[in-house]
Structure 1
Amino acid sequence: MEPISQIISTNIKELFQFLKSNDFSKAVLIGIAITLPIVFGLVFNQLEIGLAIGFGAFWCSPSHVSGKLTHKINGILLSALLIMIVSFLGGYLHYQTWLIIPVLGFLTFSIAFISVYGFRASLISFSGLLALVLSFAHISETLEMYEYAFLIGLGGLWYLLLVVIWYFINPKAHTEEILAETFLLTAAFLETRGKLVGPQPNRDELQAKLLDLQAELVERHATLREILIQSRKKSGLSHYKGKRLLVFVQLVEILEAAIANPVNYDKMDVFLKYHPNYVKSFQDFIFEVAKQLKSISKTRYNKRQLPNNKQLILYLERLEQEVEALKNSNNKSDYEGFLILQNYLEYQKRQFLKIKRIKWLLGNPNMDTKDFIDSNESKRFIVSQDYSLNILLRNLSFKSNIFKHSLRLAVTVVLGYILGHVFAFQNPYWILLTIIVIMRPSYGLTKVRSKDRIIGTLIGGAVAAGMVLLIQNPYLYAVLGIGSLIIAFSMVQRNYKASATFITLSVVFIYGIIEPDISTVIQYRIIDTVLGAALSYVAMLFLWPAWSFLDIHETIEMSVQANKDFLNEIGLYYEQKGQVPTSYKVARKTAFLETSNLNSAFQRMAQEPKSKQKHLDKIYELVELNHTFLSSLASLSTYIQNHPTTEASEMFKEATHKIDNYLSLVLKTLQKEVPEELAHLVQKALSENEQLINDMIFLNPKDKHLERQYQEFHLVWEQLQWLYAISRNMLKITSSIKIN
């Protein structure tokens, strides 16, 4: 049990880390952007102007997300333009009651439909929805509608000014935070893999955790790519970003090398069962690598505090001695075990070199421009968003999840508005606000957010009720309201339940300044939240639901196709040798990204009602096989890049051709309309022998000249056998069920 002093010390460190985080600094910016205009408005007796500017700043804040500064600026500017237009239109709804319902529905749908242009567009869309819903909350009595709308847009520009100022005050903060998170997630990934070494009773749980960690890492990698590759400044930051990009590349390669299993775990388990000492030796080294990655993250890349290589070298030398001892065994199975462990040891050596290079790069070495990655080549790793009109037109169909979500949201918002007025709620816009905040395109996320929102609101209401009984000072209410709002914004991404709690506290304290009957405010706040959450949940169930099983086949197709392309690139490189082409690296990156997307799609499907989880076991098996296929490809890729290899034999070409053929058949069986003649092709392919070759030809293991060739033959052929078996099993599954 940890001593109390250590627990307190850890919590204090975590608190300081949170206070230095980008989430907290962004929340403080939002607090300043909202509060200052209102304070100045009160001081100069222009409260309406102050409120309008504060609202504009608040409504633009969602579009301030991770990424390149130019993208942030463009996002906030577009948000400002959208909320200005929406506020102008929404203001007139108060004067034409008969127009409210159709116009509210049309505007909600139109604004939500902007999300077809990707993640950043979805946040701009959310800003517009906030402006639309909250236009019901405040009606200016002194400003003309065009003046009010103009000031709303000015509020967006005011928030943008704060964002740009903060960026130039602390330009490295966001990059360093995302990089630190990537170090920690990579360490967690390696630790989990270390636990998988040797027989494990809970291997499935650890594998599932690996998939989740991999998905998180892929998201962080995408953000860092945008920040480090797309951002090019004329200032001294270019040198800084060049080094950070090289560090990032090493982290990507650590992940990809870790995913690359040199052998399948079943074979390793059989060997390690009789040689358990190797389990501890390998785990000691792997856990030390993970520990050093954590340490690098916590030091914030201080050169003097970077961990040294002494312990890693000791563990590596011990491993080399133990593995070498196996080589001289007269037992044939021991020699095969030696090859398995030798390949695994060489992989760990490469990880060690990457750790050393990271520490060298963070030690501020003198580097020339030529040492950095070519910007034109690196930009091929960025996926650019298509903003053409065709995207909108193509999604105007019930085949589009965004179209269904936009329509569902519009109907639910209109229904919430009607119920709020029919039953004369105190603040019916709270119902609409709850709906737009909670409702998401996926059922699972909407369900979780509904539950968290209700629980957070109940907790916040209870805490607020207790505090208002003890506190009667309106100035203290204002301070607590602003403080709660800042904490709420900073917790949105980390803990939505806690965020909902502090939002409720903030609302109650702010209303406490102008509304003497606080208990009524809390009561209606809870009722409105529960009603909005209930409407969102019911709408997800019955209004054009977008169940994952309806389009999971498309995600599987994309992942299988990406793996197929990566296999072809590996085959070409193995035949041609030489420098690794950029097309090879892009194919590898795409394969990892699509596999991560497939895992995320399956997780969404697993959160849906049991009745909608069609063929869940088979699809899970496909996801696992696809992931294992990529792991084997990554293993093969890593080996041929880091070792001198022999000429590609006809046997190798034939094997890759057969695997490629299986994947082609898998893709065809995933199509919604399968031609009848395909069944014959599938049956013919599955009637082939189970293995590419039944018996491996063993070279003389005592012949030093042939030892490297034998190791190459052993690993390459073993991976080809494994890839062949996996692709065959995938075809068996896709041909036996209809998953679309």
Structure 2
Amino acid sequence: MVISFIGGYLNISNYLLFPILGFLTFSIAFISIYGFRASLISFSGLLALVLSFAHTSENLEVYQYALFIGIGGIWYLLLSTLWFQLNPKAQTEEALNETFILTADFLDTRRQLIGEQPDRDSLQTQLMTLQSALTEHHQTLREILILSRKSSGKSNYQSRRLLVFVQLVEMLETAVANPVNYDKMDLLFKEHPEFKTDFQKLISEFSHQLRSIAENINKSKLFPSNKVLYDAFKMLEHDILKFKNENHIEDYERYLMLQNLLDYQKKQFEKLKKIKWLLGNPELTSDDFIKNDKLKRFIDSQDYNPKLILRNLSFRSTIFRHSLRLAVAVMLGYGIGLFFDFQNPYWIILTVIVIMRPSYGLTKTRSKDRIIGTLIGAAIASGLVFTINNPYIYGALGVLSLVVAFSMVQKNYKASATFITLSVIFIYAILQPDILKVIQFRVIDTLIGAALSYMAMRWLWPAWSFMEIGDSIKDSLKANTAFFKSISTYYQKKGIVPTSLKVNRKEAFLQTSNLSSAFQRMAQEPESKQNHIDDIYELVVINHSFLSSLASLSTYIQSHVTTEASENFILISEKINDNLDKVCSQLKAINFENPYTNVSIFKPEPFNFPINSITTDVISQTDSERTHKEAHLIWEQLYWLFSLSEKMLKLTAKFKVD
């Protein structure tokens, strides 16, 4: 409302208009330093600024126009609050439904990775993308459930949904967990393809049941039966036992590997059964509730300190560069519109603020989608205008197109741009008889706005991802290190699972997801700006593999009674921590902007990892199969973590330092 009021009085000399327009654009865009919610307010302000150029004072004075904008905002706030009171569960149910679907997709992709695959790299990339999306949904759902519980107190509904969410988070961790490395699994499944088929069918059934639960989330009677899963487990147990009896001791390690893999699937089954039970609306006891003091640690509060403004007034800040870039593009766009005397020059700057994003890849994609969508919309509108000449139909089509456009803006921007164009053209068709001229200028303005956005993003203070990818790698590694230290400490001390372990797990998944997103942005940028992309991709994959191994350890030690931690476990854990600390130190000094690498080959300190002797000793000292499985999994994972930490040391040593 304030911006609409200010913008309404910008009918001044161009000598003053352009610097004021640039300053206002920069200031409004700069609000985004305060996080996602601030970025929405920023976009609303930019939209209000642009639309104030469309207002003429023939019917309403500027203060009246701004007042109506404010009243409209209050009306929508009241309407959305009323709708929430009438249907308070809608947001939770939608977010939960999407999380179920994404979890099912993630499991399905993991299923495809079982056994030797010709396109494993593409599947791994797809898996990382899904994991990033799933982690974002977890963040959203976590906020919805925890904040609503804080505001409305404990309720059976919210507590049940929160417990369902906890099971879904643990399902992700268990799905990420891998009891052995893929090379050993590939060899086993190649020789015994029946196990590959059995495990794939089992995971496929998990995926199918999650989708079915999502479709019937409030109809527990329609949930699929557990019988199919029970039968699948019986078949697998029978085949694994037969494998043990036929192959005896020479393949005992493979037998342990299969048993550990089966145990992970059984844990998934337990979580699935608990989800079904919780969605069946049981009456919970006080012991079932999660205490609020624990929940607070899972929510990250936004820093609204005014000093954040001063800290970001620098070219090192991505938001600062974006705000400056946007301000210049808006001034240029409006100047072009005035110079060529376009019908609605503000359409150019409207296109600029809608398309331009801090990320090059997203701006490029949105520019392309916006142009294609506008051209399709203009073609459809031209055809309809020739066949329809009724202002009431134009009005109905305009409103309908606008509703469809807003509903699709997050899922399919190209389709959304098509319907926005249709809506604008139909609304203008009511006001102006020469509709073809409106269509013509709409297309031209969109082309100019999209071209300006792309060129500004490409050449005006660009913030290439390779300049920031080091921080993302470092943050992910720090989170993984903290998670590993929590696991190591818990394995040594035992007892109740500390909340700190779960918080560190959440942070590790979140930072690994952020790293994947940062790399995807880098991969969308020009090849000349993709410094060290192969080595960085390897670091991203290693971080994901590291998290997978940590998830294996975390899931196992939380769900099994484990033996006392040996001196070797403590020694090797310290060695892995030492490697990770060295990698972090190297990352701080690396200059990713330097396209060259070191010629010398890094040689890590010699360390004799006694994996085979430890596993053999444990097997020979006891007849307990449970202890054998523990020794096999723990030492396999420790060896894998140690190998990955050594790989990271070698990789980071290749980069030039400042």
What range is the shorter-chain TM-score in? over 0.9
Q: Deviations over 1:604-662 (max 9, x none)?
A: 00000000001000000000001000100110111111111111111111101111111
Q: Which residue of 2 aligns with 1:736?
A: 654
Unaligned runs of 5+ in 1: 1-83, 675-681
Cα–Cα, structure 1 residues 124 and 165, in superposed 2: closer, same or farther, change >3 Å? same
Q: Which residue of 2 aligns with 1:346?
A: 263
Q: Which residue of 1 aligns with 2:242?
A: 325
Q: Which residue of 1 aligns with 2:380?
A: 463
Cα distance, 1:673 vs structure 2: 6.6
Cα–Cα, structure 1 residues 148 and 320, in superposed 2: closer, same or farther, change >3 Å? same
Which of residues 720, 725, 728 in structure 1 aligns to 2:638?
A: 720
Q: Deviations over 1:300-355 (max 9, x none)?
A: 33021111111110001111111122233444442111000000000000000000
**For residue 564 of structure 1, what is the amino acid of its counterpart?**
T
Which of residues 626, 629, 635 in structure 1 aligns to 2:552?
A: 635
Cα distance, 1:716 vs structure 2: 0.7
Per the alignment, in what secondary structure is the counterpart of residue 494 of structure 1?
A: coil
CA distance in 1, matches of 2:367, 2:76: 29
Q: Deviations over 1:16-75 (max 9, x none)?
A: xxxxxxxxxxxxxxxxxxxxxxxxxxxxxxxxxxxxxxxxxxxxxxxxxxxxxxxxxxxx
Q: Which residue of 2 aligns with 1:264?
A: 181
| Contact kept in structure 2, 1:511 and 1:518, CA below 8 Å | yes
Q: Which residue of 2 aligns with 1:146?
A: 63
Q: Deviations over 1:356-392 (max 9, x none)?
A: 0000001111212331111221121111111111211
Deviates more, 1:356-365 or 1:150-159: 150-159
Which of residues 76, 92, 105 in structure 1 aligns to 2:9?
A: 92
Cα distance, 1:274 vs structure 2: 1.1
Cα distance, 1:235 vs structure 2: 6.3
Residue correspondence of structure 1 range 1-400 to structure 2 within 5 A: 84-232=1-149, 238-400=155-317
| Contact kept in structure 1, 2:602 and 2:650, CA below 8 Å | no
| Contact kept in structure 2, 1:175 and 1:227, CA below 8 Å | yes
Which of residues 383, 396, 416 in structure 2 aligns to 1:499?
A: 416
Q: Deviations over 1:407-437 (max 9, x none)?
A: 0000000010111100111110000000000
| Contact kept in structure 2, 1:699 and 1:706, CA below 8 Å | no
Q: Deviations over 1:651-709 (max 9, x none)?
A: 111101111111111111111379xxxxxxx9997031474556444148588733222
Cα–Cα, structure 1 residues 233 and 118, in superposed 2: closer, same or farther, change >3 Å? closer
CA distance in 2, matches of 1:543, 1:340: 55
Q: Deviations over 1:154-201 (max 9, x none)?
A: 111111111111111211111111111111110111111111111111
Cα–Cα, structure 1 residues 197 and 526, in superposed 2: closer, same or farther, change >3 Å? same
Cα distance, 1:234 vs structure 2: 7.4
Which of residues 294, 314, 337 in structure 2 aligns to 1:420?
A: 337
CA distance in 2, matches of 1:363, 1:208: 36
Cα–Cα, structure 1 residues 213 and 717, in superposed 2: closer, same or farther, change >3 Å? same
What is the CA RMSD across the aligned residues, in angstroms?
A: 1.9
Q: Which residue of 2 aligns with 1:508?
A: 425
Q: Deviations over 1:434-475 (max 9, x none)?
A: 000000000000000000000000000000000000000011
Per the alignment, in what secondary structure is the counterpart of residue 289 of structure 1?
A: helix
Cα–Cα, structure 1 residues 601 and 516, in superposed 2: closer, same or farther, change >3 Å? same
CA distance in 1, matches of 2:602, 2:78: 66
| Contact kept in structure 2, 1:446 and 1:537, CA below 8 Å | yes
Does residue 687 in structure 1 map to residue 608 in structure 2? no
Cα–Cα, structure 1 residues 356 and 454, in superposed 2: closer, same or farther, change >3 Å? same
| Contact kept in structure 1, 2:618 and 2:631, CA below 8 Å | no
Q: Which residue of 2 aligns with 1:407?
A: 324
CA distance in 1, matches of 2:147, 2:618: 53
Q: Which residue of 2 aligns with 1:662?
A: 579
CA distance in 2, matches of 1:610, 1:374: 50
Does residue 593 in structure 1 map to residue 510 in structure 2? yes
Cα–Cα, structure 1 residues 739 and 125, in superposed 2: closer, same or farther, change >3 Å? farther
**For residue 169 of structure 2, what is the amino acid of its counterpart?**
V
Q: Which residue of 1 aligns with 2:625?
A: 707
Q: TM-score, normalised by structure 2?
A: 0.96
Percent sequence identity is: 60
| Contact kept in structure 2, 1:662 and 1:685, CA below 8 Å | no
| Contact kept in structure 2, 1:412 and 1:536, CA below 8 Å | yes
| Contact kept in structure 1, 2:107 and 2:175, CA below 8 Å | yes
CA distance in 2, matches of 1:151, 1:354: 52
**For residue 269 of structure 1, what is the amino acid of its counterpart?**
D
Cα–Cα, structure 1 residues 425 and 234, in superposed 2: closer, same or farther, change >3 Å? closer
Does residue 477 in structure 1 map to residue 418 in structure 2? no
| Contact kept in structure 2, 1:691 and 1:725, CA below 8 Å | no
Runs of 4+ in 1 over 6 A off after TM superposition: 233-237, 682-685
| Contact kept in structure 2, 1:699 and 1:710, CA below 8 Å | no
| Contact kept in structure 2, 1:614 and 1:739, CA below 8 Å | no
CA distance in 1, matches of 2:508, 2:585: 19
Deviates more, 1:604-613 or 1:321-330: 321-330
| Contact kept in structure 2, 1:690 and 1:725, CA below 8 Å | no
**For residue 315 of structure 2, what is the amino acid of its counterpart?**
F
Cα–Cα, structure 1 residues 588 and 700, in superposed 2: closer, same or farther, change >3 Å? closer
Q: Deviations over 1:564-611 (max 9, x none)?
A: 111111111011000011111101110010000000000000000000
Cα–Cα, structure 1 residues 175 and 686, in superposed 2: closer, same or farther, change >3 Å? same
CA distance in 2, matches of 1:572, 1:700: 22
CA distance in 2, matches of 1:237, 1:140: 52
Per the alignment, in what secondary structure is the counterpart of residue 199 of structure 1?
A: coil
Q: Which residue of 1 aligns with 2:597?
A: none
Aligned length: 652
| Contact kept in structure 2, 1:655 and 1:692, CA below 8 Å | no
CA distance in 1, matches of 2:54, 2:117: 57
Q: Which residue of 2 aligns with 1:444?
A: 361
Deviates more, 1:446-455 or 1:283-292: 283-292
| Contact kept in structure 1, 2:611 and 2:636, CA below 8 Å | no
CA distance in 2, matches of 1:211, 1:728: 22
CA distance in 2, matches of 1:115, 1:238: 35
CA distance in 2, matches of 1:693, 1:173: 52
